[in-house]
Structure 1
């Protein structure tokens, strides 16, 4: 079973149920991955999602990645990728798969630039981050990047979010 814990600070609009968004997007990502069986597993696999501000993400990015600027989402896996497959056979227990941290300002700016709702962009970032927690890596080569992109598209389609990689034609 997948357990999603989440927290959102004041910059994230209180009219949106960010916990429900995180849960829906995270479950969709897991289901589309090679670890979909975790959804029905006796193992309690937890994912923590924090919706926060740019300054907190910048501090974490600087401390853990030596990049002194905010980014849209940070993923902190707690399980080595080679240890994920054996978890599918677990007959109980609990494990923390990892933490995701989303930066409001970066997300809002990117959503505005793409002319999409911040909720759709945040759902994409949660899906993307969960896939990182599950060992997927778009920076290890074109083939891996394409495979991860396909999983993101499938997960987002399952929750009614448009393909973030679709190229829209410009009318002239």
Structure 2
């Protein structure tokens, strides 16, 4: 899998290198039926932008770690566009420290998590959450990374992080 990824870094915080971000995206997409021509946008933002997005699209206050916006295209267009993922760099950095995780492992989890949302996975109910968690854990293990839920018992984008 070698998706076309448009990476937009609008964050003033340190973020992973582009090759790592692409590797994590391609690992997630390899577990799907999307074509090699799949396209998505990954936008890395600071808290102000994420707060506005979280409020505008989810009606939630504060910045969250990751939001996904699957493309909602009519089937007759037959375009390989998957959608957009937005990740808040300062929130991910704080969470990694609070959870005692290596920053790269937490970043990889957020990228994989966002990709799975673009592919239609969700964690609204327990059964769907279990499926998504197993898939995330499998993908991260294939990348040589630990299970993200070992010491973290809630979903990464369920609750906004307080500022």
**Residue 39 of structure 2 is aligned to residue 38 of structure 1:** no
The residue correspondences of 1:79-158 to structure 2 (distance < 5 A) are 79=72, 94-139=79-124, 141-158=125-142
8 Å Cα contact 1:31/1:39 also seen in 2: no
CA distance in 2, matches of 1:68, 1:123: 25
Deviation at 1:10, TM superposition (A): 4.5
Deviation at 1:8, TM superposition (A): 1.8
Deviation at 1:103, TM superposition (A): 0.7
Stretch of structure 1 that moved more, 55-64 or 5-14: 5-14
TM-score (norm 1): 0.78
The C-alpha deviation readout for 1:48-86, integer Å capped at 9, x for no partner, is 111110111001111111112100001011147xx6xx9
**Residue 147 of structure 2 is aligned to residue 163 of structure 1:** yes
Deviation at 1:98, TM superposition (A): 0.7
CA distance in 2, matches of 1:166, 1:10: 29
RMSD over aligned CA atoms reads 2.3
Q: Report the secondary structure of 1:6's partner residue.
A: strand
Q: In structure 2, list runs of 5 or more residues that go unmatched.
A: 153-163
Kindly indicate which of the two structures has a greater share of residues assigned to helix: 1
The C-alpha deviation readout for 1:77-135, integer Å capped at 9, x for no partner, is 1147xx6xx99xxxxx6432111111112111110011122221111001001000000
2:160 aligned residue: none
CA distance in 1, matches of 2:137, 2:123: 14
Runs of 4+ in 1 over 3 A off after TM superposition: none
CA distance in 1, matches of 2:87, 2:151: 25
Deviation at 1:167, TM superposition (A): 4.3
Q: Report the secondary structure of 1:38's partner residue.
A: coil
TM-score (norm 2): 0.82
- State the number of aligned residues: 150
2:7 aligned residue: 6
CA distance in 1, matches of 2:71, 2:102: 30
